[in-house]
Amino acid sequence: MTVAVFMLSLCGAMALGMPIAFALLVCGLALMLHLGMFDARILTQNLIIGADNFALMAIPFFILVGELMNAGGISKRIIAFGIALVGHIRGGLGYVAIITAFIFAGLSGSAVADTAALAAIMVPMMADAGYNKSRSAALIGSGSIVAPILPPSIPFIIFGSVSGLSVMKLFLAGIVPGVLIAVSLAITWWYMARKQNVKVYPRSSFKQILAATKDAGWALALPILIMIGIKGGVVTPTEAAVVAVVYTLFLCFVVYRALKFKDLFHILISAAKTTSVILFLIAAAMVSSWLIAIANIPAAITSMLEPYMGSKLLLMIAINILVFIVGTAMDLTPTVLILTPVLMPVIVKAGIDPIYFGVVFILNNAIGLLTPPVGTVLNAACGAGKVLMDDLMKEIMPFLLVEMVVLLLLILFPDIVLIPLKWMLG
């Protein structure tokens, strides 16, 4: 009965068109009334405690890095670097999109922000070179979902804060799956681009490649500095986010001189708006998470999954089918906030490595960003790339399928995540 109250109140509030953060509060209120323990002070305290987490401080700083990167022209320098490397290959701009999305992921940690920034610049560029506009937007959207997997992934920070797991370990564990996604997209693009009649850029000379590398080198160094700092124990992920902001400000104002101080106000406002939405979601989810634990819902879910508990593989398949279905109807952040406290006790009881589960769980949710009806990355690609949703959905299917194959490989072979992680942790 408690699970039914939880699901019906949450889904009912969202069906009425209520914002997800408020739907989570309604869900918490419904659980309190059902348990006969309504107290407005408990609700308020948990709402405040939900956002009072040191690890969450990394989120506004990494969001600010993304805003500065786009406003400061760093995006264009990274694209120019990609063109210098692979622009002469047939389908070269597609490879540039994949490389750039991979680099962007190491700067902002947000798939939607990366898609919007990259599609606005590259889709017109690819269309002028003879590429199919919808296919170009589909590739960029598909490539941008490596952002939730690679450090400094914002979803990993949220998942780590809710589950109590090490954000550093999650960052390290996401590197190999992120590379696999990028490689699989490159192979798919190679197959699709073989017979395309598109513009090919002249091969860049060594001097031109060196100049492009030098121009983008400052930006390319940031993800490496973040990982070295975290892995070496010099900074925590939160402190690394602050360092990243200072470094990006230095690039924008001193190295590239692409921003003026009057621009900073609007950039800060934009970052604050995005941050407020995410942190309010997290705070509201904390109310539901606390009541989920009090109501012993994880035990009820565990009993429902009992037939699969004897096999880690079957359990992972069953859970990932559930996560994929939920991910088609809900955005990444609320899905992580709602399902993490429900599923983590099941995972621990089954003896599945929680860091490995976190990587698979976030990847599954990231793929959900490409599926209708919610699909925030789809919407960002449509808006920034100025393409129709119907055309985009048709072109995105090959990329979506290959990413699902990578997800399946991670489920079947956990060592793809665990062995590199053990090696990186020494």
Q: What is the DSSP string of 51-103?
A: H--GGGGHHHHHHHHHHHHHHTTHHHHHHHHHHHHHTTSTTHHHHHHHHHHHH
Q: pLDDT > 70: what percent of the chain?
A: 94
* Under 8 Å between Cβ of 384 and 285: no
Residue 404 confidence class, pLDDT cut points 50, 70, 90: very high
Q: What is the pLDDT of residue 361?
A: 96
- Summarize the confidence of residues 387-416 as an average pLDDT: 92
| Beta-carbon count within 10 A of 191 CB | 12
Residue 43 neighbours by CB under 8 Å, 6+ apart: 25, 28, 29, 32, 287
Contacts 24+ apart (CB under 8 A), 241-247: 241/57, 241/58, 241/59, 241/61, 241/62, 241/65, 241/152, 242/61, 244/61, 244/62, 244/65, 244/107, 244/152, 245/61, 245/64, 245/65, 245/68, 247/222
Is residue 379 left, alpha or beta, with left meaning phi > 0 and alpha meaning psi from -120 to 50? alpha
2 pLDDT higher than 70: no
User: DSSP letter at 295?
Assistant: T
Which phi-psi region, left, alpha or beta, contains residue 91 (left: φ > 0; alpha: ψ -120 to 50)?
Answer: left
Contact yes or no for 72/85 (Cβ under 8 A):
no
pLDDT tens digits along 32-70:
777 777 777 777 777 777 677 666 777 788 888 878 887
Average pLDDT over residues 164-193: 92
Looking at per-residue confidence, does 153 or 300 come out higher?
Answer: 153
Rounded to whole angstroms, the Cα distance separating 337 from 20 reads: 11
Label residue 381 left, alpha or beta by phi (over 0 means left) and psi (-120 to 50 means alpha): alpha
Predicted confidence band of residue 329 (pLDDT cuts 50, 70, 90): low
Residue 123 has a pLDDT of 87
pLDDT-based confidence at residue 169 (cuts at 50, 70, 90): very high
Distance (Å, whole) CA 72 – CA 49: 35
From CA 251, how far away is CA 248, in angstroms rounded? 5
Q: Quick count: other Cβ atoms within 10 Å of Cβ 164? A: 10
Instruction: Give the pair of three-digit tokens for residue 214.
Output: 């030098």
The length of the chain in residues reads 426
Q: In whole angstroms, give the CA distance from residue 249 to residue 71.
A: 11
How confident is the model over 65-88, as pLDDT tens digits?
878 887 887 878 888 888 888 888
Whole-structure pTM value: 0.82
Minimum mean pLDDT range among 48-57, 197-206, 277-286:
48-57
Instruction: Determine how many CB atoms are found less than 10 A away from the CB of residue 354.
Output: 17
Tell which residue, 3, 55, 27, has the closest CA to residue 342. 3
Task: Pick the more confident residue, 358 or 332.
Answer: 358
Amino acid at 409: L
CA distance 45 to 347: 28
Residue 425 has pLDDT above 70, yes or no: yes
Is the pLDDT score of 299 beyond 70?
no
Residue 363 has pLDDT above 90, yes or no: yes
b/e sequence 206-227, b meaning 16+ C-beta within 10 Å: eeeeeebeebbebbbebbeebb
Terminal-residue alpha carbon distance, the chain: 47
Q: Say what the pLDDT of residue 111 is.
A: 83
